[in-house]
Amino acid sequence: MSPQCGLRVRRYRHSAEEISQSVSLYANTAIGFRLSAAVYRHQHLAGASTNAFRAWVFRIGYYLLKKKSYSPTIEWAWVLDHTIQIGAYRCLAIIGIDLGQCRQEGQFNVGPQHLHLLDVYLSSDWAWAEVEKRLGYCYGHCGKLPVQVISDGGKDLRGAIEAFLQTRCEVASNQDITHYAAQVLKELLQGCAQWKALVKAVNTARRKSFQTKLAHLMPAGLRKWSRFLNLDACIESLSKCLAFFDSGPGLSLLGAAGKHKEAFAPMLAMKGYILQVSQAMKIINGLLRLFKQKGISRRAVEELQPETLEGQNPQEWGTMAWTVYDKMKAFLQQQAQRLPDDDKPYLAHTDMIESLFGAYKQKMKVSWLSSFTESVLAMPVLLGGLDAETVREALSQTRQEEIQQWFATMMPEGSLLKQRRAAFSAGKQNCGNSSNTNTS
């Protein structure tokens, strides 16, 4: 497509279709601003610089965040969470989800087309009152209250949500099922002597087999952070190792491994405990899959039985499996009682905001000094769903001065890189003045 074709954007040499395609490439791949601009220059004779491409993304993001209007008929669910803290600042994001669209044709499918980023805000003080203000801003922006607000259940967010909904009892407040499942596993395993012994055995197997002919059998390690949120990969790896070593080829390989088989001996000795944890993980994964795919409602929780979980036989469950199931069902019953009594499915998880934060961190990690900048405006773009008309309106209605003023309101001192340059420049100047004084 040449720059002369397509929907025109005032004061731009590129068409809205071209810009939309290029920004969508940035949003839907792992490449950053520089490479996205280079791909654009390769495809079109009239190219754009990296700075120009970055400006497109920021202006479109600002428009989607601040100027996009919504239908008053939307049935909203709000999902909110903080991302990581960098310096003194943390970023709060609030995603709005169109529940009516998710419930089409008797299904409950939450896709990118149903997501709208309602607010992104940076602050060094995230007291309850500050989060409550952002919820109030979203109320004004949407023009109506949501029917559901859901978070990971952290104290900093839970208190603000309770304060915001104190006089708005018609809004349901729920906790993410994934974080609660991780909390159940943490309570069950963290203080357990057998679990500590298993962690030690896994680390021993990894360390002693890493540079041997058994390295391909090395189990997956536990993550240092959020390990109970990501326990599934480690347990699945252990289960596969056990199944292999129980087979004929596994026994033969282990017998011929000599001293290297000692790497797996402590882990294999805990086979019974590994199978217990594996069974508990299968129950949790079955519940997560069920309520993430079909949503949560009062009827769905009332009809939940151990036999309804795919591939499960409750007669084979041990004490740990039943403990996990009972805790998860009690949690689901508690959450269902907070929902409207209409048997419609509602959100049970916050995976979409975790996915957005993950995509944003992936884009920004290329920076040598990671910090919050105007790049947070890439978040609305990363949700996708751009079309040429939206791009045309965004670039026509948004000015760079608006973006700069918006960011300065949140971070008056500027980004970490700006502060660093100012500090080092002052230090260099003071050093020079000291040298001149000594010379005199």
Q: Is residue 55 one of the residues assigned to a domain?
A: no
| Residue 62 included in any domain | no
Determine the angle formed by the axes of helices 231-246 and 271-294, rounding to 10 degrees.
130
- Domain assignment present for residue 237? The answer is yes
Residue 239: strand, helix, or coil: helix
- Residue 204 lies inside a defined structural domain of this protein: yes
Distance from chain centroid for Cα 407: 23
Range of the domain at 211: 182-337
Residue 300 three-state SS? helix
Burial 290-302 (b: 16+ CB within 10 A, else e): bbbeebbbbebbe
Q: Is residue 117 predicted with pLDDT exceeding 90?
A: yes
The mean pLDDT value for 75-89 works out to: 89
Residue 368 is assigned to a structural domain of this protein: no
* 63-77, 119-133, 215-229: range with lowest mean pLDDT: 215-229
Tell whether 203 is covered by a domain. Answer: yes
pTM of the entire structure?
0.88
Within a 10 A sphere around the Cβ of 154, how many other Cβ atoms?
13
* Backbone phi, psi, residue 393, to 5°: -65, -40
- Count how many domains the chain has: 1
Q: Are strands 148-151 and 115-123 parallel, antiparallel or unpaired?
A: unpaired
Which residue type occupies 84? I
pLDDT at 429: 64
Identify which has the larger pLDDT, 367 or 55: 55
Q: Which residue has the tokens 């979980």?
A: 309
Whether 258 is in a domain gets the answer yes
> How many other C-beta atoms are found inside a 10 Å radius of the C-beta of residue 66?
17
Q: Is residue 385 part of a domain?
A: no
The residue-averaged pLDDT of 169-187 equals 94
C-alpha distances in Å from residue 404, one per residue of 397, 410, 412: 15, 10, 10
Edge-to-edge, what's the strand order for the sheet holding 115-123? 115-123, 89-98, 76-86, 148-151, 172-175
Average pLDDT over residues 102-127: 89
Q: What is the dihedral of CA 297, 300, 304, 307, to 10 degrees?
A: -140
Residue 4 confidence (pLDDT) above 90: no
